[in-house]
Chain A
Amino acid sequence: MSKKMQITLTVNGEVQELLAEPRELLIHVLRERLNLTGAHIGCETSHCGACTVTMDGKSVKSCTVFAAQANGASITTIEGLSTPDNLHVLQNAFREHHGLQCGFCTPGMITRAAQLLADNPTPTEEEVRFGMAGNLCRCTGYQNIVTSVLAAATEMSAAREAAE
């Protein structure tokens, strides 16, 4: 076993300091040490996107990032997007538009969609499909996910305009 190393992560705005083996994956640190079980472990081979979190403004598959690589980074998980009493616009849109069935892929879908809309606040349907291509859903057939993301984009744009 190799030596544990000191790792500092800013997770959902809170600084977390922990000791971890370099081989520990970011998803394991989030789920097992920080009890943030929103990001899921699906395929474990960087295909399905269920483990998607945001790392320094990039959507990443946290099953394919070592915690050591993330040392010093700022991480946002699905838990960081909202509180149970005050859902994120995307979460409401997924609920309104049936963007989920079993829900396993949903945290990854919404975390990825949040970054997609941060990069491109007014995407076309094609851009949503292309931008969400790293997240697999085995239930919905994707149509309602795309509808949900587009609805959230419209609502967020309207809110921005209202604020201006």
Chain B
Amino acid sequence: MIPAAFDYYRPDTIQDALALLQTHGDDARVMAGGHSLIPMMKLRMAEVPHLIDLQAIADLRGITVDGATVRIGAMVTQHDIIQSADLARAAPILREAALQIADPQVRYMGTLGGNVANGDPGNDMPGLMQCLGAEFILTGPDGTRTIAAREFFEAAYMTARAEDEILTAVTFAAMTGGYAYEKQKRKIGDYATAAAAVLLTKEGGRCATASIAMTNLSDVPVWSQAAAETLVGTDCNPDAIKAAMAAMDGDIDPGADNRGPVAFKRHAAGIVLSRAIARAWSRA
């Protein structure tokens, strides 16, 4: 499997990468780790006459935890996330999720920026970023703007990023309370049949706040405010979890594919959510 021919660029700065995007327009794409794009190019499902490799741009790297604010450069890999002691303290749910993505070789190459900017419903980080209430920083010819993860995903592979913009970093508030990322997959390296990200806080034995997002159960990640609201004020007992599962079920819209029919996807979604809530509660 050989991709169609292309010209290769490795700019050193974001400005140089943006200039290449301006020059080549629709014929150009930026590449992070390449582990979604290269397979598509090899299958000739993607043709990229001008490929802009972002690996040399130092400004796209680095994890910083500044007080309660976490900033992760777009080119930070899943491996970097797993290795980061700062992140393990400020947002341990990221490590828990990253460990469930693909396999070691892919995690050395796959990046947070690529995982969210690609807009693949099967990717794990988009839902997790919605759960965290993260913001994405986009840089384009007219400067930099910020967009909420909960507003970024429009349809499968369609996002609010304009063609001439680069997603440069992700920011979110350091988390507090309990957390869990629960993923059901057929085998190592597969996308989720269903996955759930849960954050919650506990006060006086009751759930004070909750945030729930589901992965690969719609064209876009599903941040289920309804499911989270059913938990608040409860002690996350089995009935409360069942109510959250029912609320979540109203928000997802899975399609049948070789991971199973719709009824099975809904069943799996309920199971991963119930496990994630129970684990998050036990850690709160």
Residues of A whose CB lies within 8 Å of any CB of B are: 1-3, 5, 21-25, 44-47, 49, 52, 58-61, 64-66, 68-69, 71, 112, 116, 130-134
Contact = CB atoms under 8 A, between A and B. Distances in A.
B7 A112 contact: no
Given A47-B189, A64-B109, A69-B34, A2 B5 contact: yes
A3 B34 CA distance: 21
Contacts of B35: 46, 64
A66 B1 contact: no
A79 to B, nearest CB: 19
B6 A49 contact: no
B189 A22 contact: no
A132 B105 CA distance: 9
A21 B106 CA distance: 24
Nearest to B1: A44
A106 to B, nearest CB: 16
B42 A44 contact: yes
A112 B34 contact: no
30 contacts: A1-B5, A2-B6, A2-B8, A22-B7, A22-B8, A23-B3, A23-B6, A23-B41, A25-B2, A25-B42, A44-B42, A46-B35, A46-B39, A47-B189, A58-B79, A58-B105, A58-B108, A59-B105, A61-B105, A64-B39, A65-B38, A65-B109, A66-B34, A68-B10, A69-B55, A112-B105, A132-B104, A134-B102, A134-B103, A134-B104
A2 B9 CA distance: 12
- Taking residues whose C-beta sits less than 8 angstroms from the other chain, chain B's interface range is 20 to 34
B81 interface: no
A134 B5 contact: no
A112 B51 CA distance: 29
Contacts of B38: 46, 64-66
Contact of A3 (B2, B7, B104): B7
Given A45-B39, A68-B53, 19 more contacts: A2-B5, A3-B7, A21-B5, A22-B6, A23-B3, A44-B1, A45-B1, A46-B39, A46-B105, A46-B106, A58-B79, A58-B109, A59-B108, A60-B105, A64-B38, A64-B109, A66-B34, A66-B51, A134-B105
A60 B103 contact: no
B109 A60 contact: yes
A133 B107 CA distance: 11
Given A23-B3, A134-B103, A134-B106, A66 B39 contact: no
Which are the 3 A-B pairs with shortest beta-carbon distances?
A134-B103, A22-B8, A58-B108
A2 B3 CA distance: 12
B200 to A, nearest CB: 28
A59 B189 CA distance: 15
Contacts of B10: 68, 71
B27 to A, nearest CB: 12
Contact of B4 (A23, A60, A65, A66): A23
